[in-house]
Structure formats: structure tokens, C-alpha cells
Amino acid sequence: MKIDSDLMRGVTPSVILNLLKARKMYGYEMIKVVNERTNNVFQWKEGSLYPCLHKLESSKLIQSEWLTAANGKRRKYYSLTSNGLEVLDAKKAELNLFLHSVNTLFENALI
């Protein structure tokens, strides 16, 4: 089953922030992790991820630095800022409220 692109676009920034709460990651690594963890229900592509990363970085929610990986390749790693952590906490609460409300509507057969 494919997820609507508008719905996916709406949660992508929050998912990125949540991934970066655990550790620094580079873009392609995020794609692999998300695709694997969701059994490819989320099928992130570079063309949609990187514009979101740039927007989050320009909003000072994440920051980046070039590092040399264990295999010798230079990669741009992203990490969460303190402001990004605050926004993530607010977004999680907002998403939980939204999902609870939608589930309540479905359970009560109003939709």
C-alpha cells in the first residue's frame, strides 16, 4: 500500500528530527533506515529528502558538518540542535493528538 505523498510530506520533517535525536546521520543513511524500519511503506528518495534537510538546516533545527566515514568517504552528517529538539517534542505531541483524534473518528464510524 502506498502512502499519499501529501501525508508523507507532512511527517517527513518530524521523522528526520526524530532520527537525529538518536545520533548524527548522513542523508542516504536516513533513507536506508526509514525504508528498512517501515518495511518500505515509507519509500524515501534523495529528491524529497535533501530539500527537507536544507529547509530544516536553514530554520536552525538541524546542523551539518562534513566528516570522514570509516570507509574513508567524506559525508555530510546532520545533527539535531537544541531548538530542533524543542520543535520535535512539540511535533510529537501534535502528531499524537492528531492520530488519537483520527483513530477516535474511525472507531466511532463517523468517517
Residue 110: the pLDDT is 56
pLDDT per position as a tens digit, 25-78? 999 999 999 999 999 899 888 888 999 999 999 999 999 999 998 899 999 999
What share of the chain in percent tops pLDDT 70? Answer: 97
Residue with cell 551539518: 64
Separation between Cα atoms, residue 103 and residue 29, nearest integer Å: 32
- Least Cα distance to 55 among 36, 78, 75, 37 occurs for 78
What is the distance between the alpha carbons of residues 51 and 65, in angstroms, rounded to a whole number? 17
Place of cell 477516535: 104
What mean pLDDT value characterizes the chain?
93
Considering the four listed CATH numbers 3.30.70.600, 3.40.50.720, 3.40.980.20, 1.10.10.10, the one that applies to the domain covering 5-107 is 1.10.10.10
In this prediction, residue 45 carries a pLDDT of: 86
Q: Could you tell me which of 26, 20, 30, 27 has the C-alpha nearest to residue 83?
A: 20
Q: Could you state, in order of their start, the residue ranges of all structural domains in the chain?
A: 5-107
